[in-house]
Amino acid sequence: MKYSFLLLFILVLSGCGHYGRSSSCEGEACQNNNQFVLVEPKIDEAYVKRYKIPSLELYKNQLSILNNWNWKKGDITRQERDEALLECGSSDIWMSKNYALMKTLTPEEYNGKLLLIKRCMLDDGFTFLGDFSPCENDPIPACDLPVPKRETNRRLNSEYCMKKAYVDACQPQSRERILNTEKCKRYPKLYFCDV
């Protein structure tokens, strides 16, 4: 088992074999480098039906905003992008189990939450590489709301950081809060739980 995982990891890193090769790979981008690439699954009606996602459009909007690779700002790390997203209010969407927010909010309300995260990130100097612009063609009410500012307390006290107080993006946290997470209660010998 250990060696199987290692072999798979090496295949992914080296691009050898057919792992990750896709016939829908866009010709020149794939052939120019003579390398294999990992291709994300196609997000379409069949995909959302398979995973019981309430809305293809809202799901694509969510992916666009919450994918931290869609946000650039100098040479900051992934963790710093995650921290910025949390400080701009992404926690409730990340923590929405079984797409509860998509089911309970109207499309305008859901897109409004995403828009406020986007505007907060842009206001903080990030460049957005995604595809979500609800104020350009058919404006939603959130287009008229003030631009939210990043808040450290919003991140540290978010539901995400309450439940995952041990992750780097949620630091600094009190030792007590880390020890009270479900993960530490269940696995007290983990390196971040073991005092």
pLDDT by position in tens, the chain (length 195): 444 444 444 444 444 433 333 344 443 344 445 666 767 788 999 999 999 999 999 999 999 999 999 999 999 999 999 999 999 999 999 999 999 999 999 999 999 999 999 999 999 999 999 999 999 888 999 999 999 999 999 999 999 999 999 999 999 999 999 999 999 999 999 999 976
Beta bridge partners of 71: 128
Structure tokens at 13: 């890193």
* Spatial CB neighbours of 79, under 8 Å, sequence gap ≥ 6: 168, 169
Cis amide bond preceding 107, omega within 30 = no
Identify which of 158, 193, 177 has the alpha carbon closest to the alpha carbon of residue 82. 158
**Four-CA torsion 140, 144, 145, 150, nearest 10 degrees:** 90
- Residue 155 identity: R
Question: 């842009």: which residue's tokens?
Answer: 122
With beta carbons less than 8 A apart as the criterion, state whether 128 and 118 touch.
Answer: yes
Strands (E) in 14-138, as ranges, are 71-72, 127-128
SS3 (DSSP) at 5: helix
Neighbours of 126 (CB within 10 A): 20
Q: What pLDDT does residue 168 have?
A: 94
Rounded Cα distance between 33 and 66, Å, is 29
CA dist 55 → 18, 34, 50, 169 (Å): 32, 37, 12, 29
Question: 């946000």: which residue's tokens?
Answer: 71
Is the whole model's pTM more than 0.95, yes or no? no
Burial 73-107 (b: 16+ CB within 10 A, else e): eeeeeeebbbbbbbbbbbbebbebeebebbeeeee
